[in-house]
């Protein structure tokens, strides 16, 4: 790979983890030797696959053990994705990841239907959402503006153009990734951190 291309695929971890317009939605120890920032769209099927097939193993083996700090960032690719992530943002902070996981798990039942709003509300009812709270959240301009700013910053400063995009210690990895591929990236970084 040419040096210019390699440089373009690396982003400063300090810049990447700098505070944004909304609170960081993250799991794990911020001082962990490996940081992963994932840019997602709630209507992205590859994002849903990652969260269904890979995320639990990542969380159990690396996040919960203090080896990886994981931040989820918004990069909505359509208005429905924006609405869905806004719902997770409107919920109490401890419900953010459970809502994201539920919406990814059940993505086909709300994201790819003729009338997605009632289906999305039905997915959110177990988290206490009603028609009124759904509408109130959708009209929250501060959250919408913040989510859109996160996406614009990702595009402008980190070269994000689609989802999922992962930054592992600042190195960009675009597209679907299974646990073996992700572990192949994490393990050498942890080995280097020990030295």
User: pLDDT digit string (tens) for 10-20?
Assistant: 888 888 888 89
Confidence of residue 7 (pLDDT cuts 50, 70, 90): very low
Strand partners, 39: 73, 165
Mind listing the domains of the chain with CATH numbers? 3-194 (3.40.30.10)
Our CA angle for 75, 149, 87, nearest 5°, is: 60
pTM, full prediction: 0.93
Strand order in the sheet with 165-168: 25-27, 68-74, 34-40, 165-168, 171-174
User: Which residues 6+ apart lie within 8 Å of 25 measured at CB?
Assistant: 71, 72, 73, 88, 89, 93, 96, 97
Arithmetic mean of pLDDT, 27-31: 97
Confidence of residue 9 (pLDDT cuts 50, 70, 90): confident
Confidence of residue 3 (pLDDT cuts 50, 70, 90): very low
From CA 139, how far away is CA 143, in angstroms rounded? Answer: 9
Average pLDDT value for the chain: 94
Q: What percent of the chain has a predicted confidence (pLDDT) above 70?
A: 96
From CA 142, how far away is CA 137, in angstroms rounded? Answer: 10
pLDDT at residue 135, as a whole number: 97
Question: Is the pLDDT assigned to residue 48 strictly greater than 50?
Answer: yes
CA distances from 151 to 87, 93, 119, 162, 187 (A): 17, 20, 25, 10, 29
Sort 194 into a burial class: Cβ within 10 Å, 0-12 / 13-18 / 19+.
exposed
């Amino acid at each position: 790979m040419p040096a210019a291309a390699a440089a373009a695929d690396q982003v400063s971890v300090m810049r990447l983890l700098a505070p944004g317009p909304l609170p960081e939605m993250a799991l794990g120890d911020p001082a962990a030797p490996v940081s992963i920032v994932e840019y997602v769209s709630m209507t992205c099927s590859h994002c849903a696959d990652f969260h269904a097939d890979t995320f639990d193993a990542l969380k159990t083996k690396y996040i919960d053990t203090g080896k990886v700090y994981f931040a989820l960032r918004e990069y909505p690719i359509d208005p429905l994705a924006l609405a869905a992530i806004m719902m997770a943002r409107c919920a109490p902070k401890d419900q953010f990841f459970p809502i994201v996981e539920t919406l990814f798990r059940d993505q086909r039942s709300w994201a790819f239907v003729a009338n997605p709003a009632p289906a999305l509300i039905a997915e959110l009812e177990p988290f206490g959402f009603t028609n009124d709270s759904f509408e109130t959240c959708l009209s929250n301009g501060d959250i919408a503006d913040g989510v859109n700013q996160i996406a614009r910053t990702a595009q402008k400063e980190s070269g994000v153009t689609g989802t999922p995009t992962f930054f592992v210690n600042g190195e960009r990895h675009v597209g679907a990734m299974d646990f073996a591929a992700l572990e192949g990236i994490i393990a050498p970084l942890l080995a280097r951190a020990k030295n």
